[in-house]
Amino acid sequence: MATTAYLAFEPDDAEAARSVAAELESHGWAVIRSGPEHRVQDKLGSLVQAVGGAAIVVVLASTAAQESAWIRREVAAALNNGRSIIVVRTADLPADSWINQTLDAASFIDLRRGARSEVLAQIVDRARTAAGRGRVIAMLNIKGGVGKTVLAANLFAAAHLADKRAISFIDLDPQHNLTQYFLSPGERNRIRDRNHTLYGILNARGDHALASNDFGAIAVPLNRARRGKGPNFELVAGDERLFEFTLDTRADRDKAEAFTRFRALVSALRARSDAVIIDSNPCATFLTRLAITTSDHIVAPVRPEKYSLTGLNMLEHVVREVRGRPLRPEEFSVLLNGVNDRTRSGETGDADTLTRAEINNAPFFGAALLPDEVPYSAVLRSTPTDRFAANPINVTAMMRVGGRPAKEALARAAAAILRRAAP
């Protein structure tokens, strides 16, 4: 199946659009061109659907584009749906242009001197890189304590160890449990003091801002047995100061800059990893929005218990609201976590069966429920101790003695998630 590119342009740029579309099509892309059939005032939903469903969005930037409400909508839809945006400049833009301010002006492709073949080749190259990169997977559930963190660490350690997948984690939770899971207190303090955490990335100004163009450089390696060889397994740490972004105290400008910087981090990580795993806080805040807008796929762990479906329904609602379009079950994986829990008294088996049946019969989530489940397991319950910190990956179930059923289940579930998350 051809990969789809959405080409956003104004009638003034029709000629440049023709050249760009022809070049992409000759390299096997399916191109959706913005035009009257997509730009219908009372059908904004289908426009968002077309933009959000494309692998990449190419924007032709000119004075006409700068003034177009449709281009603004198309760019917003691309941003809210985590699409990679390639900006091709066909004319000079004013310095205070919203296009320059919203998108990364340094990476604009210059078509101001006409559709020359080397520039067109550059567009195709960029499109190929953008579409072929690693998947971004967010661990999300509005309900807390369902296993987002412990499964993020253990599922993707399984993918790394069993299937040699390169994995980058981002700890987006102010409670930063994932960071605590892998790193010792001493190491966490060192990283925090240098602002080498997500907090330094989200702050664009002030004492705590990380001044770098290569945000990916602050990722901490978590598999130290490899000595720099083989696929990476790394973490961009979180710290408690992230809570500032969950309140309404931050100005809109701060949030807009945080969003742009977060996108830059995600791009840097996905360029070098098979999967970027975002661990999120259990509610809907600005931080949740960052996770939703940048992810290709959402993994929602659920526990076999009452009200599991309520958390999932809330989640679907929040994601739909943020992305501005109906969602497809293939964009989600629901993972039943903690089955066969013998430490519970009485009706454990029933709780598993009831929850499974309830989700299976639910309209949207029935199709998202994974056949693979994670059993209740002592290695997943216990918190790591500092003696493991010499090589952080050793804290995961895959490296610790015992827990074979958990290991096998984790490797299978991780493979199933990565298959579902593939483009």
Q: Give the other-Cβ count within 10 Å of 125's Cβ.
A: 12
Q: Is 90 in the site for ligand ATP (CB under 6 A)?
A: no
| Euclidean distance between CA atoms 78 and 325, whole angstroms | 12
Q: How far is the CB of 133 from Mg ion (least distance, A)?
A: 26
Q: What residues between 363 and 392 interact with ligand ATP by CB under 6 A?
A: 374, 376-377, 380-381
**Residue 103 φ then ψ, to 5°:** -110, 160
Rounded to the nearest whole angstrom, what is the least distance from the CB of residue 139 to ligand ATP in the complex?
A: 7
**Whose CA is closest to 140, among 292, 248, 337, 351?**
292
Among 338, 384, 392, 403, binds ligand ATP (CB under 6 A): 338
Look at residue 326 and give the partner it binds from Mg ion, ligand ATP, none, a contact being a CB closer than 5 to 8 Å depending on partner kind.
Answer: none
CB-based contact 225:393 (threshold 8 Å) = yes
Q: Edge-to-edge strand order for the sheet containing 4-8?
A: 30-33, 4-8, 56-61, 84-89, 109-110
Longest dimension (CA), the chain: 74
**In angstroms, what is the C-alpha Rg of the chain?**
22
Instruction: Check binding of 149 to ligand ATP (CB under 6 A).
Output: yes
**In whole angstroms, how close is the CB of 224 to ligand ATP at the nearest point?**
23
Q: Restricting to residues 172-201, which ones interact with Mg ion according to CB under 5 A?
A: 177
CA distance linking residue 184 with residue 371, whole number of Å: 35
User: Which member of 80, 81, 84, 177 binds ligand ATP (CB under 6 A)?
Assistant: 177
Rule CB under 6 A: is residue 109 a binding residue for ligand ATP? no
Residue 405 makes contact with ligand ATP by CB under 6 A: no
Spatial strand order in the sheet of 233-236: 220-221, 233-236, 167-171, 275-279, 135-139, 297-302, 332-339, 374-375
Q: Is 285 in the site for ligand ATP (CB under 6 A)?
A: no
Give, for 136, the enclosing helix (H) or strand (E): strand 135-139
Per CB under 5 A, 377 contacts Mg ion:
no
Q: Does 285 bind Mg ion (CB under 5 A)?
A: no
CA atoms within 13 A on the CB side of 247: 6
Q: Is 148 in the site for ligand ATP (CB under 6 A)?
A: yes
Q: Does 403 bind ligand ATP (CB under 6 A)?
A: no
CB of 175 to ligand ATP, least distance (A): 6
Number of residues that bind ligand ATP (CB under 6 A): 17
Instruction: Catalog residues that contact ligand ATP under the rule CB under 6 A.
Output: 144-150, 173, 177, 282, 337-338, 374, 376-377, 380-381
Instruction: Catalog residues that contact Mg ion under the rule CB under 5 A.
Output: 148-149, 177
